[in-house]
Structure 1
């Protein structure tokens, strides 16, 4: 009698687990078309820039040409934020990043920006630029 109770309980558990087992027939696999590449090649696009401000103060970004014309101006970039990409014509330009606090040094970088180039300016937690090299798209 003792064994019959254990056998009945074991049989009930086996039946319960076998009813919950999934088989390969329960699932269908659909063929999906190959998606477009995530980063399509650049097609003579204007250069662009943005600021990643991981610092503790707001910054202003100005991109200036050799004759002093402002081609990009992004003001009051708050801490812990990233701006949108801003495009401009290819040229040798000066990137001027100024902090809103007098204790933060201003930084200027002169770069020849050609088409299909991007310059992401990253500010670290100490309010210093840590990226000085643009990338080719």
Structure 2
């Protein structure tokens, strides 16, 4: 009986270890398929190919907003008027360079905000307004 318990415990350990082992060939196959997926992804998913910078507004606030994007000389390159609460505008493109983003609330109790950003090709600036009618995003993203 003593030997039967030892044999059962030993057999259980052997089965446990043999089920958890893998051969080196399994790792080689996984590695090859992972490399293939990575190289395919890199080749087919180019997010930006020298596209103009772009912007959009996500208005989660309680009032409408007006967006103007101005070049250094004061020329307006994007103007989106009356962006309603709980809405998102479509993307608007413009030339690269330093631009001023001016977001003005249509309610006098809401503070206006202006941000000067150097926008290069393949960059996007998503301006998000929170529930308190304040901008919560100030950094452009590289596409």
Q: TM-score, normalised by structure 1?
A: 0.72
| SS of match in other structure, 2:127 | strand
Aligned pair 1:49/2:50, yes or no?
no
Q: Which residue of 1 aligns with 2:120?
A: 114
CA deviation map 1:54-102 (0-9, x unaligned): 0000000000011100000000000000000000000100000000000
- Which ranges of 4 or more aligned residues in structure 1 deviate by more than 2 Å? 34-41
| SS of match in other structure, 1:74 | strand
Computed over aligned residues only, the root mean square deviation of the Cα atoms, in angstroms, reads 1.8
CA deviation map 1:101-133 (0-9, x unaligned): 000000000000000000000000000000000
Name the structure with the higher helix share. 2
- Please point out which of 42, 56, 66 is paired with 1:60: 66
Looking at structure 1, the residues matched to 134 and 102 of structure 2 have their Cα atoms a distance apart, in angstroms, of: 13
Aligned residues: 104
Aligned pair 1:135/2:137, yes or no?
no
Cα shift at 1:36: 7.5
Gaps spanning 5+ residues in structure 2: where? 1-36
Cα shift at 1:41: 2.5
Looking at structure 2, the residues matched to 79 and 135 of structure 1 have their Cα atoms a distance apart, in angstroms, of: 24
CA deviation map 1:10-65 (0-9, x unaligned): xxxxxxxxxxxxxxxxxxxxxxxx99789632100000000000000000000001
Gaps spanning 5+ residues in structure 1: where? 1-33
